[in-house]
A and B are shown apart, each in its own frame.
Chain A
Amino acid sequence: MSGRVYDPRGVVRAEHRDVAPRVASPAGLRLGILDNTKWNGRRVLERTAELIAEQAPFAAVTRYAKASFSVDAEDELIARIAAENDIALIGIGD
């Protein structure tokens, strides 16, 4: 049989963006914690921040929450977290 095959997937149109460089140490940095409001999300994130802080204390810790665990954080919230912190901690905690 000759001819070509139809691909059902459609094209993904996206710009490539590099991720931010990793920090050498979180010590002395401002940490933002984004609670996704899942049942156990805040517990997982708070305990994780505690464990990191034992090794490398933060300059400040600020907490934020998404409107719903199942939708993207609003652009304004992401911009605020970026402006007010050096690093951010996110997670699910289902």
Chain B
Amino acid sequence: MPAEAAVHAPDDLVEYYFEQAWSDGLPVVPPTPAKIGAVVDALGGDPDYPEAVIPPRRGTLTREVLAINMVLAGCKPEYAPVVRAAVLALCTKQWNLNGVQATTHMAAPLLVVNGPVRNAIGMNAGHNVFGSGNRANATIGRAIRLILLTVGGGTPGDLDKSTLGHPGKYTYCIAENEELSPWAPYHVEHGYAPGDSTVFVIAAEPPHSVVNHVANDAQGVLDSIVSAMSTYAHNNAVAGGSCAVVIGPEHAATIAASGWSRLDVRSYLWMNAGNTWDEISFGDRYAGGGKVYNKALPKWYKREPGARIPIVEKPDDIHLFVAGGAAGRFSAFIPGWGRMTSPVLRKIDGAAPPAGAVCVDGTCAL
């Protein structure tokens, strides 16, 4: 079914899309048959092919509708495989897009792209990686958000009940800086070949900056990240789940010079970041004379005064990336939504995942 509204195009299409609320609040690029056709071709043709159903509205995302949203966002056709892989990752059951769309929490999908596609489409993995200035980063993330708004019905206050939201709900898409990383790329750590391209998607809070200009070893740099992680204000503290840590290239070089691997980093952060049970239970002050339990946290946590409560259940729940510019001693901690969602890593182009990983239909549960 052609996704064309039965109206004649007005003179000012940008204003028309604003009036229909088919926008994220910023001007959109008016779609034309030629632009839509180029994206549909990049997706493999067949414009009516249903790629996904987007909750909570449960609109059908055909290739043509995907193309419309990509054009509205300002994407080039060559971004299509990345956007499609990200959408399919978001729509896997364990990602729980329905919950992320509707929650009062501020979570937004954070995309991290790995592999040769980053450079092929000109993504930014360097300076200002979370900021503005790069078309691929900006419009891939924006296309995802437009799809969640229009097809998914995530209109603020209607089906999107987020109390605050965050700026990543305009666009939240980066690439790993594989060239400046002292370690194997994230997707290689997770079983893919360096020549594969992947997209990782996690429901995430905004990045929290971690500064450390003094430490000249792994422990010192990581202790600053531990400090950022060890609060009970973010969702991981009270609802577990997964989080992301983005190490800036200078910090990564310092850590690697101490001989530490990715697993060493994740394990150290897991071992040392956390709160006490007293902190997250408020000492039972609000338990009405009873005791707090907190069903969102793993059964095996000791719910006793003084017991340590880690930020996430295990080191594998800390997703580690190297990104950012060559200069500057900064990293970032990015809390997730909680155990109500699991991040998903998906290979771009739909080819079968490598043997050995626990994957279904190209999507790997982490």
Taking beta carbons and an 8 Å cutoff, which residues of A are in contact with B? 1-14, 37, 68-72, 94
Taking beta carbons and an 8 Å cutoff, which residues of B are in contact with A? 1, 3-11, 13, 16, 22, 31, 36, 54, 57-62, 65, 68-69, 72, 96, 98-99, 103-104, 146, 150-151, 295, 339-341
CA distance A42 to B134 in the complex (A): 48
Write 23 A-B pairs (CB below 8 A) sorted by A numbering.
Answer: A1-B10, A2-B8, A5-B5, A5-B13, A5-B16, A7-B22, A7-B68, A8-B65, A9-B57, A9-B65, A9-B150, A10-B60, A10-B62, A10-B65, A11-B1, A11-B3, A11-B59, A14-B58, A68-B340, A70-B103, A70-B341, A71-B96, A72-B98
Complex: chain A residue closest to B69, CB-CB: A8
**Out of B9, B22, B31, B57, which one reaches A12, CB within 8 Å?**
B57
CA distance A37 to B339 in the complex (A): 13
B3 neighbours in A (Cβ, 8 Å): 6-11
**What is the minimal beta-carbon distance from B174 to any residue of chain A, in angstroms?**
25
Determine if B98 and A1 form an interchain contact, defined as CB atoms under 8 angstroms apart: no
Interface of B is mostly: mixed
Given contacts A10-B54, A68-B340, contact A4 B6 (CB under 8 A): yes
CA distance A37 to B72 in the complex (A): 39
Determine if B7 and A4 form an interchain contact, defined as CB atoms under 8 angstroms apart: yes
Determine if B146 and A8 form an interchain contact, defined as CB atoms under 8 angstroms apart: yes
Determine if A8 and B57 form an interchain contact, defined as CB atoms under 8 angstroms apart: no
Determine if A6 and B4 form an interchain contact, defined as CB atoms under 8 angstroms apart: yes
Given contacts A1-B9, A94-B104, contact A8 B58 (CB under 8 A): no
Complex: chain B residue closest to A37, CB-CB: B295
CA distance A49 to B61 in the complex (A): 41
Determine if A6 and B5 form an interchain contact, defined as CB atoms under 8 angstroms apart: yes
Given contacts A7-B4, A8-B69, contact A70 B99 (CB under 8 A): yes
Question: What are the nearest 4 A-B pairs in CB distance?
Answer: A10-B59, A70-B99, A70-B340, A10-B151
**Out of B9, B58, B99, which one reaches A5, CB within 8 Å?**
B9
CA distance A1 to B16 in the complex (A): 13
Determine if A4 and B8 form an interchain contact, defined as CB atoms under 8 angstroms apart: yes
Determine if A3 and B9 form an interchain contact, defined as CB atoms under 8 angstroms apart: yes
B6 neighbours in A (Cβ, 8 Å): 4
CA distance A12 to B57 in the complex (A): 7
CA distance A14 to B22 in the complex (A): 22
Determine if B31 and A1 form an interchain contact, defined as CB atoms under 8 angstroms apart: no
Complex: chain A residue closest to B93, CB-CB: A71
